Amino acid sequence: DTGVSQDPRHKITKRGQNVTFRCDPISEHNRLYWYRQTLGQGPEFLTYFQNEAQLEKSRLLSDRFSAERPKGSFSTLEIQRTEQGDSAMYLCASSLGTLGEQFFGPGTRLTVL
């Protein structure tokens, strides 16, 4: 399967814990995006990378959130000191070039108790 993959698919954690999610984009795609989707809403942009450079961050991305794409391939999204409001589906997408279609992964569903 050469699509976008995300790991884990589900994560349950207690408030205050740190969590890390991984996204593996389609191999030749140079752009990688993170979105957050809460129940009843469309995905909201968090951040994106072009190769290994993080070029834009949404104001939704508080100081507790950090994303990396160290070698321009896979990416990680870490949330520190999780809060109940962080409960959501975290989606990763990748694209090739500036106008390419974004291909989405299956998402990681985070539940903060």
Partner 1 sequence: AQTVTQSQPEMSVQEAETVTLSCTYDTSESNYYLFWYKQPPSRQMILVIRQEAYKQQNATENRFSVNFQKAAKSFSLKISDSQLGDTAMYFCAFMKPNTGNQFYFGTGTSLTVIP
SS3 (DSSP) at 58: coil
Number of residues that bind partner 1 (CB under 8 A): 26
- Restricting to residues 31-90, name those near partner 1 by CB under 8 A: 31, 33, 35, 40-45, 48, 55-56, 58
Nearest to 19, CA basis, from 61, 76, 71, 85: 76
- Nearest to partner 1 of 36, 82 (CB atom): 36
What's CA 53's distance to the chain center, in Å? 15
Bridge partners (DSSP) of residue 75 are 23
Chain residues that interact with partner 1, rule: CB under 8 A: 3-4, 31, 33, 35, 40-45, 48, 55-56, 58, 91, 95, 98-99, 101-107
